Amino acid sequence: MTPRERVLSVLRGEKPDFVPWFADLDYYATAQIVRGKKPKGFQGSDQYIAWHRDLGAGFYQQASWPYREIHDGCDVREWREGPIRHRQIVTPDGTLRERWQWSDLSFSEAPIERLVKTIDDLPAYRFLYSHNRYEPDYAMAERRRAQVGEMGIVMCFLPWSPLMRMVVADAGIEAVVMMLADAPGEMDQTVLVVKESLDRASAAAVGSPAEVLMITENLSSEVVGERLYERYLRTSYVEWSGKIRAAGRHSCIHMDGTLAGLLRQVSAVGFTFIEAMTPAPVGDIAVKDWPRYRAGTDTIYWGGIPGVYFTPMVSDDEFDRHVKDVLSVMRTDGRMVLGVADQVPPDGMERRIRRVGELVEDFGAC
């Protein structure tokens, strides 16, 4: 079977010949481009898919939002000063500002000033989202359909759910917790406005040519516990996964942190699979114990190899031991896909990526 046939068989509830192995190489590729080892535009090219083929890993993951977010009624200005990216949004209800700084060490950017800092920013934030519109942009998905072939599947992203949009991108968990404590009613109102906006974004995503649609949640249960999950997250998950299913597509959520506090609850929502699951010893649940959290569903679990395992920090012997242990569970369970949890990092080694494919051939027969 090809990588595509293997993963589709699992998504359909069928048995593949080998455990599917799919790698998220986007972050690793970004570092390779910055270092001059891969050309600019590499991730969108045919060569990117060929690279996966050469490394023996299936393709599925690249940041691709199938819509454009347009801020009506706002004066939006973006500019760069050296490594710092600035954005200013002027609304009739106030001005929002954020700054993100690029790091040559991590090959990524991080916020040094968040868009939303206190409850004083919420009126402008509500205006921003209540006036957002989302225009379909399916060019990347259509290009991928022509490129991917037997190497994998076409995936596009839904937005974060409303609260997680604030936690991950716009405010940060500290400000969110403070605002929930100081002004719970105003936060409820704000989350509702953002949800109505992001529901429109999710509709645009569901209309795309993608075979799989991911909620890009970055969910971790030590950041968002059961109380916030039930109050703010679960409704969006149920609604969005239901619409994806009704459209004949597969749905998933990116849950790349600690699992124990929310895995059972998320498994009960209706997603086809939960992606980027990080196991012990880096995460908090061993792969052999994952099936106990399925809550009576047939939810597929996708992940199993922590990103750090692809780096020199982990020995070759430990890498092989871990992958073989994971494969021993996955080939028996039949409802799992071997993947990176959550990405191969910049200091990862290509030979480790290749090694996974070799181990699958030797120890991953179903």
pTM of the model: 0.97
CA atoms of 349 and 351, how far apart (whole Å): 5
What would the mean pLDDT of 2-11 be, rounded to a whole number?
A: 98
Average pLDDT over residues 81-96: 98
For residue 49, the model assigns a pLDDT of 97
pLDDT at 40 > cutoff 90: yes
pLDDT value of position 327: 98
Tell me the pLDDT tens digit for each residue of 329-349.
999 999 999 999 999 999 999
DSSP state of 266: H
Is 90 exceeded by the pLDDT of residue 361?
Answer: yes
Q: What is the pLDDT of residue 61?
A: 84
Q: What is the mean pLDDT of residues 104-125?
A: 97
* Cβ atoms of 341 and 256 closer than 8 Å: yes
Q: pLDDT tens digits, residue range 314-334?
A: 999 999 999 999 999 999 999
Q: CA torsion 317→319→322→324, rounded to 10°? A: -80
With the C-alpha atoms ordered 4, 2, 303, 344, is the resulting torsion angle positive or negative? negative
Task: List residues bridging with 215 in a β-sheet.
Answer: 158, 253
Across 3-27, average pLDDT: 98
Res. 63: pLDDT tops 80: no
Mean pLDDT value of segment 78-94: 98
What is the domain partition of the chain in residue ranges?
A: 3-70+131-363, 73-114
Band (pLDDT 50/70/90 cuts) for residue 31 is very high
Residue 137: its H or E element: none
Paired strand residues for 224: none
User: What's the CA angle centered on 19, arms 277 and 308, to 5 degrees?
Assistant: 40
Banded model confidence at residue 62, pLDDT cuts 50, 70, 90: confident
Q: Work out the mean pLDDT of the chain and round it to a whole number.
A: 97
Mean pLDDT along residues 49-56? 98
What Cα–Cα distance (Å) separates residue 190 from each residue in 27, 184, 202? Answer: 32, 10, 18
Residue 5 has pLDDT above 80, yes or no: yes
CATH, domain range 3-70+131-363: 3.20.20.210
